[in-house]
Chain A
Amino acid sequence: MNTLARSQSFGALIGVAVMLAVFTAIDFSGWWTRATIANVIHFAAILGFLAMGQALVIMTREIDLSVGSVYGLTGVAFITLTPDLGVTGAVIVALLIALAVGFLQGIAVVKGQLPSMIVTLGGLFTARGIIYVWTGGSVHNFSEDARADWMTRLLGGELFGIEAAILWLLVIGVVLNLMLWATPFGNRLLATGGSEDSAESRGVLTDRVKIITFMLCSVLAGFAGILTLADRPQTHVTLGELLELEAIAAAVIGGCLLTGGRGSLIGAVLGGFIVTSFRYELIALGAPSSWFITFVGIVLIVAVIFNQKLARRLGHSV
């Protein structure tokens, strides 16, 4: 119990419990339906990837505002390149594009010594602009062949009777958790976020750590975009708009402190679950969809206050 309370995801766990209790109490029949739960789980899994990437970046004491656009750009690249490269080729090239975006942003942040908030805001607009130019604003679709491709079925739809996105989230979630908590790279990532000067004085190549983390964040966002489109292969230019805000909200609700060095990937995924749940419960309650952003804002503020209090109680300096 003590270690649980000390872990950064404790707040998010409580949040999930409280939220489920409240939804059950106020709207049992609307919330516990097959359609609502299926939607929530699918989109929470997708958001989970973005939230984990964001969490890693926040743990290095940076931020990545570009993930919504990178999600869209990678998804668009995946669909648009498939006729020429085949599904597998398109997946590879699309992920390479995401990696390149992360690399360029990371380089700009560490070599230009620029705030990541500004660099990735630039990335947000640039990537979105490329989507408009590339698609010409038109909708692209998958051919029958591409829908039947083994790669498409591995990424979208169901595997062993479970949604592919969920299985992928489990696998990648476990890998990322091991990387963060059980490898030298993870130790250096946490150190970089905790105190960059101290990490550097111990020989940690903090610039390299940050660049790799930005690349991980972008490739996770891109992969989420591909998973979405493999499931429903249709592009539109606004794909992933405002998703960066949901990802940041999820990471923060999940216990990542913006002061760096502390956070939880499991918490970030739970945070994504909370954000997504609010969206579908509001729909189930028949509220106008525009209320969603307001609710995310409120949940975010409550979560930040709660997590701050928790951190202070544990004696962290935040």
Chain B
Amino acid sequence: MPDKTPLIQVKNLDLYFGAFHALKNVSVDFHSGELVGLVGDNGAGKTTLIRVLCGIHKPTSGEVWFDGRQVKEFHPKLAIDNGIETIQQSVGLCDNLSIARNFYLGREPVRRIMGIPFLDMGKMRDLSTKVIREFGLRDNVSADDEVERLSGGERQSVKIGRAVEFKNRVVIMDEPTNHLSVREREHVNELALQLKEQGLLVIYITHDIFQVHKLANRIVIMENGEKIEDALTSSMTADQLEEVIRQGGRKVEKREAV
């Protein structure tokens, strides 16, 4: 892998929310065909880091390179156009819209009538129905139902199904198995592996250390806005991995005590 140029390259990234220093001099490379586990305590900065990659946050300083080109402008639309699909932790679905409308939001298929683009509702319904069935949503949930009516797990399934359906070059998953039952978790983890096999880059954030140790070929650990570890999964056991995250936690406690 080192012989290839990385697909995404983050160099000396700093990000402040007002006075709060959320990312501290983070540098990390991601390659195509990798499944990278991104782990660390609550509030470590995992979500913030991937939100830079998917264009929601603009870094205060530092560089992001995508496919050999430096990213100058940060907007989710640019990231999506670059082929980065993201399953966000807290946003991504509009409660007031149907599943079908949410599914295609921002990339609606159209049928032109006299040159005017009209929504191709048939296509929107068909594909989103197929995907929610694959994800085992109850039969009485239809693609025309508003997302507001869905349970937490159903919402998560819609988000994952959408990202996998539109997969392109990168799929970022921020705690994708949240709200999911055991069976659906296995399904998602299998999908993540498939994406990797297909040569995509998968960035997988989770608190499930043992699961990520099985899935990922590389693990990046964050702590307090810093990257504290970046190693191939094969170089450590799951117990060792857990221990490193624990130690990170202790380091913070000590610092705070001083």
Contacts and interface: CB of A to CB of B under 8 A. Distances in A.
Interface string A191-202: 101110111111
B106 A194 contact: no
Nearest to B90: A197
Interface in A182-213: 182-184, 186-188, 190-191, 193-195, 197-205
A2 interface: no
A198 B107 contact: no
A36 to B, nearest CB: 38
A201 to B, nearest CB: 5
Contacts of B118: 178, 182-183
B97 interface: yes
Given A183-B117, A184-B108, A195-B91, A205 B96 contact: no
B interface bracket (residues with beta carbon within 8 Å of A): 20 to 34
Contacts, number: 90
A200 B76 CA distance: 7
A128 interface: no
A191 B146 CA distance: 12
Nearest to B119: A182
Contact of B119 (A183, A194, A199, A202): A183
B69 to A, nearest CB: 19
Contacts of B54: 201
A310 to B, nearest CB: 15
B180 to A, nearest CB: 20
A248 B76 CA distance: 33
A262 B96 contact: yes
Contacts of A68: none
Given A184-B117, A204-B105, A198 B77 contact: no
Contact of B110 (A184, A260, A261): A184
Interface in B88-107: 88, 91-97, 101-102, 104-107
Given A183-B116, A191-B105, A261-B96, 13 more contacts: A178-B118, A182-B119, A183-B119, A187-B119, A188-B105, A190-B94, A194-B96, A199-B105, A201-B88, A203-B107, A204-B105, A260-B96, A261-B95
7 contacts: A182-B121, A188-B106, A200-B56, A202-B92, A203-B75, A203-B107, A260-B96
User: Top 9 nearest A-B pairs by Cβ distance?
Assistant: A194-B96, A261-B96, A203-B77, A194-B94, A203-B106, A184-B108, A202-B106, A203-B80, A202-B105
